[in-house]
Amino acid sequence: MNYGEQKRLISGEFPLFDELSYIDSKTAISDDHFYQFFKMRGWIKNLSDLTLVNQNLQNVKLPLRYEYKATFKDELGTIELSSPVVTDERNIHRGLAKAYNDDMLVDIMVFVQPFPAVDAKGKLATNQQTVITYWPIKIEAKDCFEEEASFTDLGNGWEITFRGTTVKYSNDDGFFYLHELIRREEEFISSLDLTIARKGSPVSAEDTAILKGLFNEDDEKDEEQEKKKGAHPKKHSKQLNELNILIDKERQKLEWFDPYANKKEFEDCEENIKMYQVQFMDLKNFRTVENKLFSDYVQPIRRTLKKSVERALIKIKKEQPVLHEILAPRIETRSFSRYYSPLDHTILWII
């Protein structure tokens, strides 16, 4: 530690939060990280009581010193925070306690100490098995986080900036889909529409409307699965659903008619059901000019989009791991896909 940094730390002349770079629980600490201030964002998961340290050293009078241990958690893991020895431990402990008790999100300014010295033989120069120490210097607890990020189309690729780190990515389909989902936050977008926007329609213009209807029908199956899980179903216009509604109405009529007393009405209902079912299957099994069933397009388009998004997220995980952990659970890829942002941690995207 050079004298200037030591003096600043001891005197309490700390940098501003906005001047600091982020460091996360899984960041590889190098020599460049030692004896520096950083900002961490996450939660306090464990906190010990504040205890007074016994410092009676041969009747030498020392200032009162307190100690505690705390566990900090972010999206990538946990680290242990140690009580600082050159700042006000009691005030820091109070801030940690409030964040811990209320399960609040926090920004913490930490000072990082290095590994112990190693001698020429590669052994510890001291007997103390010390590892990297994080001293919390200041803490800001918040009810929710609202932070900014940018996702820029470079024409021949993509650029994402998050928490001070900017990374350029290749012009993959998955990044286009992510960009569109984030740009239209909370909106359910047909996987077919996303595919058409990127690659054009796989069928003729006349056939595209029918294909969109099949995506609506496929989405209904997803809704039924979500209902069983207790989720809120999405509401979309259902083009092919009109025939299903007519079929259901005719079936309800059958339950009221006596097949003997209301023979004609009963038979009419049965004929109507058969007619609607034939119309539905004719529409569903209608073939494109390439002699393919429309239903042959639904799952491949849906599956291709999902895999493209997953590949893009893998690349983000490698370069911006914290962003990946935040972003991945917020992306839904189905027949209708979307990006959503929880109220307790919103990201204001600059697109």
Residue 15 is part of a domain; what is its CATH number? 2.40.50.140
More confident residue, 55 or 14: 14
Residue 245 lies in a domain: no
CA distance 250 to 162: 56
Could you tell me if 96 and 175 lie in one domain? Answer: no
Residue 266 lies in a domain: no
Contacts of 267 (CB under 8 A, 6+ apart): none
Could you tell me if 197 and 339 lie in one domain? Answer: yes
Could you tell me if 174 and 84 lie in one domain? Answer: no
Residue 279 lies in a domain: no
Of 116, 142, 168, the domain-final residue: 142
Residue 285 lies in a domain: no
Residue 330 lies in a domain: yes
Q: Is 320:160 a contact under the CB 8 Å cutoff?
A: yes
Q: What percent of the chain is modeled with pLDDT above 90?
A: 30
**154's tokens:** 């470079």
- The string of DSSP letters for 277-333 reads HHHHHHHHT-B-TTS-BTHHHHHHHHHHHHHHHHHHHHHHHHH-HHHHHHHGGGEE-
Could you tell me if 126 and 159 lie in one domain? Answer: no
Please provide the size of the chain in residues. 351
Could you tell me if 86 and 183 lie in one domain? Answer: no
Could you tell me if 216 and 162 lie in one domain? Answer: yes
Provide the mean pLDDT of the chain: 77
Has residue 10 got a pLDDT over 50?
Answer: no
Residue 55 lies in a domain: yes
Has residue 145 got a pLDDT over 80?
Answer: no
3-state secondary structure 158-212: EEEEECCEEEEEECCHHHHHHHHHHHCCCCCEEHHHHHHHHHCCCCCHHHHHHHH
* CA nearest to 138, candidates 109, 100, 113: 109
**150's tokens:** 């940018």
pLDDT confidence tier of residue 205, bands split at 50, 70 and 90: low
pLDDT confidence tier of residue 225, bands split at 50, 70 and 90: very low
Range 293-314 average pLDDT:
82
pLDDT confidence tier of residue 238, bands split at 50, 70 and 90: very low
Could you tell me if 171 and 131 lie in one domain? Answer: no
Could you tell me if 131 and 169 lie in one domain? Answer: no
Grouping H, G, I as helix, E, B as strand and the rest as coil, residue 342 is coil
Could you tell me if 84 and 183 lie in one domain? Answer: no
Range 84-100 average pLDDT:
83
Q: What Rg do the C-alpha atoms of the chain give, in angstroms?
A: 31
The total number of structural domains that make up the chain: 2
Of 125, 142, 159, the domain-final residue: 142
Has residue 39 got a pLDDT over 80?
Answer: yes
Could you tell me if 94 and 173 lie in one domain? Answer: no
Has residue 146 got a pLDDT over 90?
Answer: no
Of 142, 173, 200, the domain-final residue: 142
Residue 255 lies in a domain: no
Q: What share of the chain is helix, strand, coil (3-state, %, to 5)?
A: 40, 25, 35
CA distance 271 to 280: 14
Q: Could you list the residue range(s) of the whole structural domain that residue 72 is in?
A: 3-142
Could you tell me if 206 and 109 lie in one domain? Answer: no
pLDDT tens sequence across 154-195:
999 999 999 989 999 999 999 999 999 999 998 888 888 898
Is the pTM value of this prediction over 0.85? no
Could you tell me if 328 and 222 lie in one domain? Answer: yes
* CA nearest to 110, candidates 90, 94, 87: 87
Residue 272 lies in a domain: no
